[in-house]
Structure 1
Amino acid sequence: MNPFVKEVEPLADYKLRLFFTNGEAKVFDVSPYLDKGIFSELKDKSYFKQVQVVAGAVEWPNEQDFSNDTLFLLSDPV
């Protein structure tokens, strides 16, 4: 089982700096998803910055989300 996200920080260029419960920090690039369905709303930078940790994953107010597994496996180490 992959670790959970304990903290998220939105960065420039639609990236997220993630801090996991195992002590690792990684960066996840959201930009490949911005033209896919519900994720297109994330193109609004002020909305993108509203990301928060919910139940070990990340989520935006209108329920766009990425699971901890996706984030851990597809992120780049810092």
Structure 2
Amino acid sequence: MIKLIHIEPRTDATVRLSFSDATTARWSAADYITRDTVMTRPLADPAFFARAFIESGALAWPNGFELSADALHRRLDAAGELVRTAA
């Protein structure tokens, strides 16, 4: 099971993600922000977005919005955006 091991939220609504399989990627929350739902609306606020944290290996925010590491990893891999680090 893939887990997040490190995150770096950025001011442009992106997060630098490091996964347990030694891959990294930059993920954008833009698609979620444009949905403008009760759970995603707070992500548009840079101060709130910066409060992202890892909970049980998933990307999470204080309002309870979470994205599983597996789902993020699969999407980023399918888009060719994962960077694999040599062992």
Same fold (TM over 0.5): yes
Unpaired stretches in structure 2, ≥5 consecutive residues: none
Q: Percent identity?
A: 26
Give matches, 1:31-70, under 5 Å: 31-36=30-35, 37=37, 38-70=39-71
Match of 1:25 in 2: 24
Separation (CA, whole Å) in 2 of partners of 1:61 and 1:54: 10
With normalisation by structure 2, the TM-score equals 0.80
- Give how far 1:69 is off: 1.7
Separation (CA, whole Å) in 2 of partners of 1:62 and 1:12: 19
Unpaired stretches in structure 1, ≥5 consecutive residues: none
- How many correspondences in the alignment? 77
Separation (CA, whole Å) in 2 of partners of 1:27 and 1:13: 11
Q: Is the 8 A contact 1:28 1:74 kept in 2?
A: no
Give matches, 1:11-22, under 5 Å: 11-22=10-21
